[in-house]
Amino acid sequence: MIRMIAEPIAIMFNRFIHNPSDEISYKLFIYVKNKIKNKPLPNLDAPELFKILHNKKAKRIDKLLINDTNVENFISKFEWRLTKLYDKLEIDLIDILESIMGVSNAESRMLYLPNAVKIIINLAIKKNQSERQITKKKLY
C-alpha cells in the first residue's frame, strides 16, 4: 500500500513544508480494492510516515526536510479515510442529482453530473473550509 500512497502524501508533505503558516488540514481519501469491511485505516505514525516519505514514489521532496519536528507537525494536520470506488461515488452522485433535480437518471448523468463535478472541483480548491461547503439549493 505504501507505493500507492507515497506520491500523494509526498505532495501534501511538500506543500506543508513550504507553506508552514497556512492553516490547512490535509485529507487523503483512499480506495483499497480488497479492504476488510468496517476496518478503519490505522493512524499514521512517525515511523510509518518516514517510511512513506523515503519511498522511491515520494518524489520531489528535499530529504533533509524530513525530520522529527516536520513529520510530527504534518501528522497533526493529516487524516486519511477509506472511500468507495470512484465509479460507485459517481453513481451515488447521479442518484442524488436525480433526486434533488427531479429528472431521469439519464438526464442526471448527461446534463447535471458534469456541472456538479466542475462545481465540486472549484469548491475543493478553496483555501478556507467554510468556502468549500455547498447546499442543495446553491448546487442548482
Tell me how many domains the chain contains: 2
Q: Check whether residue 47 and residue 105 sit in a common domain.
A: no
| Residue in the block written with cell 507537525 | 73
One digit per residue, the tens of pLDDT, for the chain of length 140 reads 677 888 999 999 999 999 988 888 899 998 887 765 566 777 889 999 999 998 888 887 888 889 999 999 999 999 998 888 889 999 999 999 899 889 999 999 999 999 888 988 899 888 788 888 888 777 76
Q: Check whether residue 134 and residue 117 sit in a common domain.
A: yes
CA-to-CA distance for 70 and 57, rounded, in angstroms? 19
Domain boundary among 64, 82, 100: 82
Domain boundary among 40, 61, 82: 82
Q: Check whether residue 48 and residue 94 sit in a common domain.
A: no
CA-to-CA distance for 11 and 13, rounded, in angstroms? 6
Q: Check whether residue 76 and residue 8 sit in a common domain.
A: yes
Q: Check whether residue 45 and residue 93 sit in a common domain.
A: no
Residues of the domain holding 67: 2-82
Q: Check whether residue 74 and residue 110 sit in a common domain.
A: no
CA-to-CA distance for 31 and 11, rounded, in angstroms? 18
Helix or strand run (H / E) with residue 80: strand 78-82
Q: Check whether residue 71 and residue 9 sit in a common domain.
A: yes
**Total residues belonging to the chain:** 140
Q: Check whether residue 10 and residue 51 sit in a common domain.
A: yes
Please spell the DSSP secondary structure of 93-132, one letter per residue: HHHHHHHHHT--HHHIIIIIHHHHHHHHHHHHT-SSGGGG
100 alpha carbon, distance to own chain's centre: 25
Domain boundary among 43, 64, 82: 82
Q: Check whether residue 92 and residue 45 sit in a common domain.
A: no
